[in-house]
A = this chain, B = another copy of it.
């Protein structure tokens, strides 16, 4: 516990936040082991708290727990990856519509700042941070819709999408989807529900189309490839 990071609020929720952020920024990758002792030492809390946090994340699909083996960052299969985006396709367009109906100038201002940070991170080459902000943009829109239940679902789906992107993203070229968010923001600014819904639908299709969901990266093959390549 030498270099323990002090946690403002030594609660499980704080650790969930920290770990989730790390996943969003791709600093923690699918399959990585999350040892209870290790996590506990890093954050300076006991295993009890860590276990709470890990179980909570497991419930959200970000972590998978194998009995007597421990917790690992989840590795969504191709099928699961598809399901995540199919669920998003069901929820997010309608949610964007609702957001467009309700968005106030203050909301727009906040989203503009969000996008500016997105661009700044991209410009600074902080790909992880940009990715996190990009996902958060969708969550923020859900928040505008004032639907806590759907908001929570989307939050979970966005998190899992980070894992999917880590596993299945094709191009390293990350600066592609800026325009989509700009356009969405514009529709929200104009309080144009139809456009918002349609743009979100298209944006999600675009996202999926940039994934390689052909074959599941099973352990043996990816290992072999890693060693031979």
Point out residues on A near B: beta carbons under 8 Å.
52, 55-56, 59-61, 80, 83-84, 86-87, 90-91, 94, 147-150, 153, 157
Q: A59-B60, A80-B148 are in contact. List 20 more A-B contacts (CB 8 A).
A: A52-B55, A59-B59, A61-B149, A80-B149, A83-B147, A83-B148, A83-B149, A83-B150, A86-B147, A86-B149, A86-B150, A87-B91, A87-B147, A87-B149, A87-B150, A87-B153, A90-B90, A91-B91, A149-B157, A153-B153
Q: In the complex, which residue of chain B has the Cβ closest to the Cβ of A84?
A: B149
**A149 / chain B contacts, CB cutoff of 8 Å:** 61, 80, 83-84, 86-87, 157
SS class of chain A's interface: helix, strand, loop or mixed?
A: helix
Q: How many angstroms between the C-alpha atoms of A55 and B94 in the bound complex?
A: 30
Selected from B59, B83, B91, B94, the residue in CB contact (under 8 A) with A56 is B59
Q: In the complex, which residue of chain B has the Cβ closest to the Cβ of A11?
A: B67
Q: Whole-angstrom distance from the CB of A148 to the nearest CB of chain B?
A: 6
**A83 / chain B contacts, CB cutoff of 8 Å:** 147-150
Q: Whole-angstrom distance from the CB of A178 to the nearest CB of chain B?
A: 28
Contact A90 B94 (CB under 8 A): yes
Q: Whole-angstrom distance from the CB of A92 to the nearest CB of chain B?
A: 10
- In the A-B complex, the 8 residue pairs with the closest CB atoms: A83-B149, A59-B59, A87-B149, A87-B150, A83-B147, A153-B153, A90-B94, A90-B91
Q: In the complex, which residue of chain B has the Cβ closest to the Cβ of A92?
A: B90
**A90 / chain B contacts, CB cutoff of 8 Å:** 90-91, 94, 150
Q: Whole-angstrom distance from the CB of A96 to the nearest CB of chain B?
A: 12
**A157 / chain B contacts, CB cutoff of 8 Å:** 149
Q: How many angstroms between the C-alpha atoms of A57 and B148 in the bound complex?
A: 17
Q: How many angstroms between the C-alpha atoms of A90 and B61 in the bound complex?
A: 21
